[in-house]
Chains A and B, each alone.
Chain A
Amino acid sequence: MESLLTDAQKTRYQEVKKFVATEVEPFVEQWDRDQTHPESIVSLLGDTGYLGSTLPTDYAGKGWDFVTFGLLNEAFGRGSSALTGLITVQAMVSMTLLKWGTNEQRKKWLPLLAKGKTIGAFALTESGGGSALQSLTTEFRRKNEGDGFVLNGEKKWISNGQIAGLFLVFGKSEQGFVACILPRETSGLEIEPIKEMLGFRAAGLAQLTFRDVAVPASSIVGKPGFALSHVAMVGLQYGRISTACSAAGLLRGCFEESVSYAAERRVGDRNVGNFGMIRSLIARMGADLEAAHLLSYAACRAEDEHLSEAFSKALIAKYYNSQAAVRAASDAVQIQGASGCHSSSSAARYYRDSKLMEILEGTTQIHEELLGKIFIDQAGKPLA
């Protein structure tokens, strides 16, 4: 894949990989046990600009292209899925506000998000159905014409919810679906941490409850009626690609550690890597890694070039990479045997984290539903 990158992209990729090796990997198991990220790493991410990588420099961002954003997520995915989740959601909120926020919303919030002074949360999912977006029950009710809305309802499984200073909230109204931003200190907003997740344990998930929350008109994002079809879609596209690249990073972690283990670990007078069954597992992992990198690159490149197939490329990358990550993590544990089953093993964490990648930002089954329709709709046409 690296042969496809520009010199600038290669340089940034190496910089981020170095950052992850020194600032993330030595601490990730502790964060996983603590089920939280320390303020110091969140602050460091803000200082490096990684939380605003795709925002324009006018808003204190780095103005990176999508391919570089993908490389950032891949490099972080190698070190920590949960921390990559923070970067993912920050981009989902930031880029949605960049596209559909008012000038006032952009000026106030984007520099804070870019520098990590404020962490964002994308409050879309509800307990009644994560992927069934049309069935949202959170409700925006008109107070008086022109005076905004009153918000009531609940959101669940909201990443970054425990530490977020700004929530991008989606719900229904008489005028169709609506989106708004709510600062953490908003009266009537209750935040309850969700702990003991299988994976992504440090991702700070929370349940949100809105009780007669006053939402001024100035907090509405986009136009009422377009919150799902246009506003959420911007964030979800970033979410899918970020997760796809993060899964590729996790897969690389499984591959690199499995290869090292197979080369060094001795059973009797032979290295583990001399056994054909271990080579088979590593062969599949290596082929999956190459495929995951190429699919990630194709999805990011399609976004950079605003190609019509950008949507389907992102779906394909997320669909394939998340499943390949699950396969690789399972095989990495298998190769390491009992050592891979212990909580001190990164393979064990990869195994737990990888499963969530098949669920967040749209389950594997939802991706099959969408991709199946797209492929059938394009019957007789060459696959882009």
Chain B
Amino acid sequence: MSTEVEGRIKEKVKSFILSSINVVDFSEEDHLFESGIVNSLFAVQLMTFIEKTFRIEVGMDDLDIENFKSIKATADFVMRKNGQLAA
């Protein structure tokens, strides 16, 4: 169940990034910011998308690049916020 949810989250986040940025493909472990797939201007757009799509609020304590550095990290973060993954 958890794997299925995680897969859906990854798919949605990746689809959002692909719809916004001109990049052919990337893996779920690729560092989104360090690799240059997205830039810092995109950070708030990604956060807003995550908040709306997964009905969570990104607060000050969540401001950590580790939470959003890759598709996998983002999915883990969303699941933690939803109580579906241990912190």
Contacts and interface: CB of A to CB of B under 8 A. Distances in A.
Top 7 nearest A-B pairs (CB, nearest first) are: A306-B52, A377-B22, A233-B44, A223-B63, A229-B40, A229-B43, A226-B63
A178 B67 CA distance: 19
Contacts of B3: none
Interface of B: 16, 19-22, 40-41, 43-45, 47-49, 51-52, 60, 63-65
A100 interface: yes
A230 B63 contact: yes
Given A229-B40, A229-B44, A308 B60 contact: no
A311 B44 contact: yes
Contacts of A379: 22
Nearest to A223: B63
Interface of A: 100, 102, 222-223, 225-226, 228-230, 233-234, 237, 306, 308, 310-311, 370, 376-379, 381
Contact of A376 (B16, B22, B41): B22
B87 to A, nearest CB: 18
A228 B40 contact: yes
A222 B60 contact: yes
A316 B42 CA distance: 16
Query: Which label, helix, strand, loop or mixed, suits the secondary structure of the B interface?
Result: helix
B48 A306 contact: yes
A277 to B, nearest CB: 43
Contacts of B47: 230
Query: Which label, helix, strand, loop or mixed, suits the secondary structure of the A interface?
Result: helix
* Highest count of chain A CB atoms <10 Å: which of B49, B52, B63, B64: B63
Contacts of B52: 306
Contacts of B20: 308, 377-378
Nearest to A233: B44
Nearest to A309: B20
B48 A310 contact: yes
Contact of A377 (B21, B45, B60, B65): B21
B41 to A, nearest CB: 7
B27 to A, nearest CB: 20
Contact of B60 (A100, A233, A306, A310): A100
Contacts of B49: 306, 308
Contacts of A100: 60
Contact of A308 (B19, B40, B41, B64): B19
Contact of B45 (A102, A308, A376): A308
Nearest to A374: B20
Contacts of A102: 60
A230 B65 CA distance: 11
A230 B43 contact: yes
B44 A223 contact: no
Contacts of A229: 40-41, 43-44
